[in-house]
Amino acid sequence: MPGVRSSKLETEKRVFTIQGWIINGVPDYLILKNIEQQFVNKDGEYIKRRQSKVLLQKAYKIWHEEQEATVEQKRSLKIAELKQDVRSMDAKFKNTPQGMAVLLNYKKEINKLEAIYPVTKIMIQGDKENPLVITNSDEREARIAELIAKAQK
């Protein structure tokens, strides 16, 4: 006899929880064990191994769809992952000099991803009066040819 299906909202909550475990680096076999021990169906029974594998597969599938997302979404996922790493760091380690250095490195990386630091511009200069500004390969080739012709004169 088929069991009672979970609602779409409940399934999404479970998948979100599983993705959190994936971010934390929990191995798949422990994720499956956690699913079987923590998630209960509407009929009051714990989820079986087959269903836990389906949920884990959904979490990875959604994760991979997000991986194909825009750069901005990837940036926000990476920021969330770094912040989770900082939160999961041992409190004893955080208070040591090495821990403070690691925290500072994490904060710098998060700040870079959040674009808090100004972007450094690199200008390639040909002449002082006429600096090179290259936008595409055709323009670059034309400019190189122009400079070669000027140098050969």
129 DSSP assignment: S
Residues 63 and 114 in one domain: no
Q: What is the number of domains present in the chain?
A: 3
Q: Are residues 6 and 58 in the same domain?
A: yes
Residues 9 and 36 in one domain: yes
Same domain, 147 and 111: no
Q: Are 52 and 9 in the same domain?
A: yes
Q: Write down the pLDDT at residue 98.
A: 93
Residue 96 pLDDT: 92
Same domain as 20, residue 75: no
Residues 11 and 59 in one domain: yes
Q: Are residues 3 and 61 in the same domain?
A: yes
On whether both 54 and 75 belong to a single domain, the answer is no
| pLDDT confidence of residue 97 | 92
Boundaries of domain holding 96: 71-120
Q: Which residues contact 37 (CB under 8 A, 6 or more apart)?
A: 46
Return the C-alpha torsion angle 130, 134, 136, 138, nearest 10: 40
Residues 20, 52, single domain; the answer is: yes
**What pLDDT is attached to residue 101?**
93
Which pLDDT score, from 0 to 100, does residue 127 have?
Answer: 66
pLDDT in the model for residue 1: 42
64 and 11 together in one domain: yes
In this structure, what token pair is assigned to residue 46?
């714990």
Verify that 126 and 151 share a domain, yes or no: yes
Q: Model pTM?
A: 0.44
Residues of the chain with pLDDT under 50: 1
